[in-house]
A and B are shown apart, each in its own frame.
Chain A
């Protein structure tokens, strides 16, 4: 037997930025390749936007239906990626030992989480571009301060990510799959996405208004439909969800 030197040790971690970029690229690729994820993040929001804008199913109040619906659908897109999609993907990564394997690689845990966040943001940019183009085609005329919109989207992403990771890191993968889809459906109906909250009894309205999806869709609607300034109340609700969700995820997340 002769040593060829092929495997002679030469250990070392790649530079952090390269590791995180590689991880984010892989996570995004996995997401865009997954049919169920695309259904959730692209097909459903697109269908809902087109269907409810063109067919008069729900009374969306005065003005063009698309002006009411587009902000709600943008909120739904954020929830579908940051919460439902991320929870399901991470739940199965945990189940199949991917998180465990990566934990012994040179990539630090916070680097993995940063990469996941980048992957969510990249997906959201694609969603927003697609949905915005469709909404314009349907006659959407948005108003307001783009910075307020950006702030809402970022805080909404943080709030939903915290809740999604909390679920993925504590429940079994199958339970996460079921629960994340159920929550998606319930929040779609009861979170002011396509059905205005004022259709619900007044007691329920106050409670539903505190949900992260309601705060996000209401905030986006205030800005994009009504041209309001900073929707501080909604931003406040999202900030509380973000802090509580991310703290709980950080505390209770189990890697295997």
Chain B
């Protein structure tokens, strides 16, 4: 892993009028795939668009591939690929026309026909952009982001509204980009997407990064896991609790159905089963529930709806 981060954001502040969209955000993205998660209005798009050079920070510094996206935009632009959340194509242009055009703006573009084939856009033929389906428009925008053979690609919600096949095709392309050494920054609402693709996940809320790490680290750290088992009703939960480490909790949820919450590791599992053995209990349906990224996300950002 190269020591130089592909994206380095320090104390970024960005306001729109009186509203603070990004509030002292720090983010370091290294080679590979970095997913930026966050509720609506958390500041994901503002952060990414500042990295792309569209917005000037009110304060703080942003470096992308070591360059200032605003001041050194001319050097940076050929090296990055951008997929906007929507649009970006002449409404009267044909599906492949805009892609061929963007290819012409680069010195060593990908083979356009192969890319069209790869993303299943070959059937669009002479259809104009405004008549393409939403999924086809998304895939075209993705193709436009990668056709110039960039070092770093920004994808803003690349699979929003896609059907499962198109989603899979997008994921496969992101994986191939990564394997070929292209770094990817993607924002998404889909936790499974981040779990599937990302080497590193940053969770943003209210304009700040509130957690960052690999999906495994995020699911392990902080968030508590759950162990459930069934046995005869009315077991002495107090005695079980005494056998467990101090930071665990145990409860009989419904008669005969028990739940232990805490850091569930092999040692803890052994403690629970030996406690059962001591009390002559056969634990049936014993299960360990690992926290998903979605649990972690909801735990960190709350469950109430955002505007």
Contact = CB atoms under 8 A, between A and B. Distances in A.
Greatest chain B CB density within 10 A among A2, A8, A18, A104 is at: A104
B247 to A, nearest CB: 39
Contact of A97 (B53, B88, B146, B177): B88
A158 to B, nearest CB: 25
Given A7-B182, A26-B93, A106 B106 contact: yes
B110 to A, nearest CB: 7
A248 to B, nearest CB: 22
Interface of A: 1-14, 18-19, 22-23, 26, 29-30, 33-34, 92-93, 96-98, 100-101, 103-108, 256
Contacts of B149: 7-11
B287 to A, nearest CB: 31
Contact of B87 (A1, A6, A34, A98): A98
Nearest to A33: B92
A12 B78 contact: yes
B52 interface: yes
Contacts of A7: 110, 146, 149, 176-177, 180, 182
B72 interface: no
Interface in B126-148: 144, 146, 148
Contacts of B77: 13, 104-106
Given A10-B149, A11-B151, A100 B180 contact: no
A25 B295 CA distance: 51
A106 B89 CA distance: 16
B175 interface: yes
Contact of A98 (B90, B104, B151, B179): B90
B101 A9 contact: no
Contacts of A33: 92
B120 interface: no
B107 A108 contact: no
Interface string B151-191: 10000000000000000000000011101111000000000
A33 B97 CA distance: 13
B182 to A, nearest CB: 6
A13 B88 contact: no
A101 B93 CA distance: 14
Contacts of A92: 91
Nearest to B173: A7
A3 B179 contact: yes
Contact of B180 (A6, A18, A26): A6
A6 B110 CA distance: 8
A108 B144 CA distance: 17
B148 A96 contact: no
A71 to B, nearest CB: 32
Contacts of B86: 97
B232 interface: no
Nearest to A21: B104
A108 B76 CA distance: 12
Contact of A96 (B53, B89, B97): B89
B271 to A, nearest CB: 39
B93 A30 contact: yes
Interface string B75-111: 0011110101011111111000100011011111010
A13 B105 CA distance: 6
A112 to B, nearest CB: 10
Contacts of B146: 7
Contacts of B102: 105
